[in-house]
Amino acid sequence: MNFNQYVDIPSNLFTEDELELKKQCLEQITSHAQINRQRSDAYDAKQFIQHFDISVPPQMKQVSTVLGWPAKAVDLFEGLLELDGFVVPGHESADYGLDAIEAENRLSVELPQVHTTALKYGCAFLAVMAGMEGEPAAVVRGLSPTNSTLLWDRNRRRARAALTMSVDEVTEDASFALFLDTHTVFGFRTGGSWEVERLVHSLGEVPVTLVPFKPSLEDPFGRSRISKAVLSITARAVRTLLRMEVGAEFYSAPQRAILGLGKEDFEDETGKAPSSWEFALNKMLLLPSNLEGQLPQIQQFAQATMQPHIDMLRADAALFAGETNIPVNVLGIIHDNPASDAAMHTAYLALNKDAERAQATFGAGVVKAMQLAWRINNGGEMLPPELHKLQANYRDPDTPTRAAMAQAVVSQVQSGVLPAVSPTTYKLLGYDNPIIESLMAEARRNSGSFSLLDLAAKQAQDESGQTTPTPLVES
């Protein structure tokens, strides 16, 4: 990925106000290009190895060792961010067409990509546009900070301008979109010439939302999971792996000492002696006798152990786990005594708490995008009061076993807190939306006679979570 390819948009394509906003956006993208490239390379396990010319022989400097820890820090966290639809308090989200917007834009596929990008770089963006022919009426599209950005209005908590750009590295065709609160400027370059189109909208605000991870007062754009500490620890661990590779090679080339000869005895006809590494790596030594006819003595040292490298890798893994709040065993560090369920639950507490906070900040950006999509779907109408309370419903990252969840739900049904047949009840039991719709249709066709007490007894049979929850229907 080329992070410095978006610098050649002609100024004469913009009005004076548009040009100033474009310049600010472009400066923001290019100022973060270097660190974003480092994070992208770390995520893709393309770490650069800094050699100190001490422990690695010249023959092995081209050996590449990689480590996927940064990707693990991002992907494991993203797995805890599962959006389970939207909630309109006191109403059904389907009544406002939100389910249709979600399905048409395949948000179940798009949003995990947005989450991953935000965790990699600190933020991502969601742009909402009126669809063209053959597209959804309102298109919700994720944007990456590698080629997109927005100017943030701290008081109104929304963008005052946004820019996204792309270029085909083969054909060099390019495009950009400058989003403003009254219109959007689209530009297309084909065959070296630019065409510009301005589309007016009635939203009264920039149709791009910010999706930040851990924003702060100092940096509302958030911070990356692949922090500088993560980059440093990973770089050290990659060097440790390389030293392990070097050590493994020396198992087949043990260290030797030759008594009775000097280095000059190994010179060739040109007077050149082998280097130290060539001496160490030679499988066979042809040794002459000295002037007195005595044969040299060869002593072999005990082979070096790999344990210091393994210990250092374990230390790096512990530091990485402490920085990212992920359990150290996830990094491939195996302990002799497996952790208990309680210990594993404790190991994930900090990570789950981080995920809960991320759901709040990510959810705010997603909700804003859905509100904009509703307005576009309805010709720019103002939001009804109900949709001002729209919420993104993320699943609890701390997932209990199915048996434990079923028992808790049955208890709440028995106490009257939850209805026996309800989408909410089925959702708490862990069912997906298609299954919930089937269960509700089944419940409408026949009342059934399954006892809630029977359900509790059945779910208690298997505490390992292998038992499938039995549908709740009214008796």
| Cα distance between residue 38 and residue 48, in whole Å | 9
Within 10 angstroms of residue 42's Cβ, the number of other Cβ atoms is 26
What is the b/e burial string over 126-156, where b = at least 16 CB atoms within 10 angstroms of the residue's CB? bbbbbbeeeebebbbebbbbbbbbbebeeee
| Cα distance between residue 393 and residue 143, in whole Å | 22
More confident site: 99 or 301: 99
Between vectors from CA 256 to CA 251 and to CA 260, what angle results, nearest 5°?
170
Residues contacting 52, CB < 8 A, separation 6+? none
- Out of 151-160, 181-190, 363-372, 436-445, least confident range: 436-445
Query: pLDDT, tens digit, for every residue of 279-288?
Result: 665 654 555 6
Average pLDDT over residues 6-27: 88
Q: Looking at residue 252, what is its pLDDT?
A: 57
| Cα distance between residue 133 and residue 111, in whole Å | 23
Average pLDDT over residues 201-207: 94
Query: pLDDT, tens digit, for every residue of 430-465?
Result: 777 778 778 777 777 766 444 444 545 555 555 545
Between vectors from CA 334 to CA 328 and to CA 335, what angle results, nearest 5°?
95
Average pLDDT over residues 318-324: 93
Average pLDDT over residues 80-97: 89
Quickly state the pLDDT bin for 156 (edges 50, 70, 90): very high
CA nearest neighbour of 183 among 173, 172, 197 = 197
Quickly state the pLDDT bin for 333 (edges 50, 70, 90): confident
Q: Residue 43, exposed/middle/buried by CB under 10 A (0-12, 13-18, 19+)?
A: buried
Quickly state the pLDDT bin for 231 (edges 50, 70, 90): very high
Backbone phi and psi for residue 253, each to the nearest 5 degrees, phi listed first: -140, 75
Tell whether the torsion through CA atoms of 194, 199, 205 and 209 is positive or negative. Answer: negative
More confident site: 245 or 222: 222
The pTM score is 0.78
| Cα distance between residue 243 and residue 55, in whole Å | 7
Model confidence at 117: pLDDT above 90: yes
DSSP structure class, residue 398: S
| Cα distance between residue 411 and residue 423, in whole Å | 17
**Please, are residues 428 and 117 in contact by the beta-carbon 8 Å criterion?**
no
In the chain, % of residues over pLDDT 70: 75
**How much is the CA Rg of the chain, to the nearest whole Å?**
31
- Out of 49-63, 125-139, 186-200, least confident range: 49-63
**Please, are residues 131 and 221 in contact by the beta-carbon 8 Å criterion?**
no
**Please, are residues 107 and 93 in contact by the beta-carbon 8 Å criterion?**
no
Model confidence at 1: pLDDT above 50: no
